[in-house]
Structure 1
Amino acid sequence: MKRQKRDKLSRAHSKGYQAGIAGRSKEICPFQASEVRSEWLGGWREAIGDRSLGLTSK
């Protein structure tokens, strides 16, 4: 049975979250399209918030 790929926006959010948890700058966003870039930045902001609350192990 084939696995379904997640849609591009969901994947962008996830990658942004991972970058934020790792403490990377929001300037490294790899996306240029505004909708996808916005989703990546949303994930990044969420991760920065989680880090500041101490919700991550890093």
Structure 2
Amino acid sequence: MRRQKRDQSERAFQKGYMAGVNGKNKEQCPHEQEAIRQQWLTGWREGRTDQWDGYTGVSGLHKVEIR
């Protein structure tokens, strides 16, 4: 049975979140399409907020499901 591809916007959010938690700059967003870019930036903002709040390492694993 074939695996279904993940939703591109969901994947962009997760990648943006991981970039934010790791302290990367939002200018490193790899997406050109506006809707996908917005999802990445939303994830990045949430990741930065979690980094500032101390949700890094093991304490932040519950935030994003890594596949």
User: Structure 2 length normalisation: TM-score?
Assistant: 0.79
Q: Which structure's residues are more often helix, by fraction?
A: 1
Q: Which runs of 5+ in 1 are unaligned?
A: none
Aligned pair count reads 58
Q: Which runs of 5+ in 2 are unaligned?
A: 59-67
Give the RMSD, CA atoms, in angstroms. Answer: 1.4
- After the TM superposition, which parts of structure 1 deviate over 6 Å for at least 4 consecutive aligned residues? none
Deviations 1:1-58 (A, max 9, x none): 3222211000000110111111110000000111000000000000000011101129
Percent of aligned positions with the same letter in both sequences?
Answer: 48
Aligned partner of 1:5 in structure 2 is 5
